[in-house]
Structure 1
């Protein structure tokens, strides 16, 4: 799938998740994310790497967003008590993972840290403004989001590199080497 289509598909999935959760229809976002992941996976030349990324991302989201929820720092709309993090957030993690080998394939670990530290909290602030979440402990949550997303985005970039056979010998290199 072309990088722009991948980027646009992720944006559609994000909006579907956030607006669906904000309006009590979180299933819409889950369906959008599943459709995006399935379409991207079918069109991918890197299916194995993408599958690893999706698995790692969903597990990361389950732990990270679940922890933020359990700490009471973030209140997620559309939560089901049986899950530490709502299904729409986990689906969004899966959709994000499908950008790593495609529209974000240019991303190197050092830049992934910056992108995660800035983009992660901005996405959650946007979700809060649209009514999908509430940053209850806003200072702590924002710091945790910046650190957590910096680590997660870098880690997913390294997983992608390893899954593609590129190794991780220079994990913080900013240049074009793989």
Structure 2
């Protein structure tokens, strides 16, 4: 394990970014597999409360994947085939690697109550828009899709931070 909190946060941020890019450039099992390796590195080198953090990551991954599934079913997101029944594995993997950041490199976001409500509705949709520009996902109706994604992130991101604080207090600083 890395002793320095700053070092852990930097590695966490780098693993998340690399995992996001792996999934977006290789949507499918390859990207998801890379994220599994990054999660192993995260638990070996960054996490200080492995079991608790694994539970929190599981909770957020399920919640985020359900939200993405709803977006696919309602036409807010599309994979180009229009036939997605479940959230694709690469998006599930992105949720898992993203969840690691909430207790580490994005922990600062929870220190101001208002900050998640400002940051999430912009950053969340931006990530999907960026993935659409690379070709990993489609936003069939750009503006309505971005608005729906913004509202979704306005709700889910603060809820995830609240869940961490309430259910997993040892992960909150």
- Global fold match (TM > 0.5): yes
* Matches for 1:123-142 after TM superposition, within 5 Å: 123-142=127-146
Is the CA contact (8 Å cut-off) linking 1:79 and 1:86 kept in structure 2? no
Mark the CA change 1:76 to 1:102 in structure 2 (over 3 Å): closer, same or farther: same
Output the TM-score relative to the length of structure 2: 0.84
Is the CA contact (8 Å cut-off) linking 2:76 and 2:145 kept in structure 1? yes
SS of structure 2 residue aligned to 1:135: coil
Is the CA contact (8 Å cut-off) linking 1:49 and 1:164 kept in structure 2? no
Is the CA contact (8 Å cut-off) linking 1:46 and 1:164 kept in structure 2? no
SS of structure 2 residue aligned to 1:70: helix
**Which whole-Å CA distance do the structure 2 matches of 1:98 and 1:67 have between them?**
23
Superposed structure 1 runs of 4+ greater than 4 Å apart: 77-81
1:8 aligned partner: 14
1:114 aligned partner: 118
**Unaligned residue ranges in structure 2 (runs of 5+):** 3-7
Q: Cα offset for 1:33? A: 1.4
Q: Cα offset for 1:125? A: 0.7
1:151 to 149, 152, 155: 155
Q: Cα offset for 1:91? A: 0.7
Mark the CA change 1:78 to 1:45 in structure 2 (over 3 Å): closer, same or farther: farther
**Which whole-Å CA distance do the structure 2 matches of 1:58 and 1:79 have between them?**
23
Give a deviation string over 1:38-87, Cα, whole Å, max 9, x none: 22123311223312321122211221111111112211269985x52101
**Unaligned residue ranges in structure 1 (runs of 5+):** 168-177
Mark the CA change 1:115 to 1:46 in structure 2 (over 3 Å): closer, same or farther: farther
**Which whole-Å CA distance do the structure 2 matches of 1:36 and 1:154 have between them?**
25
When the two chains are superposed, the root-mean-square deviation of aligned CA atoms in Å is 2.2
Q: Cα offset for 1:156? A: 1.5
Name the structure with the higher helix share. Answer: 2
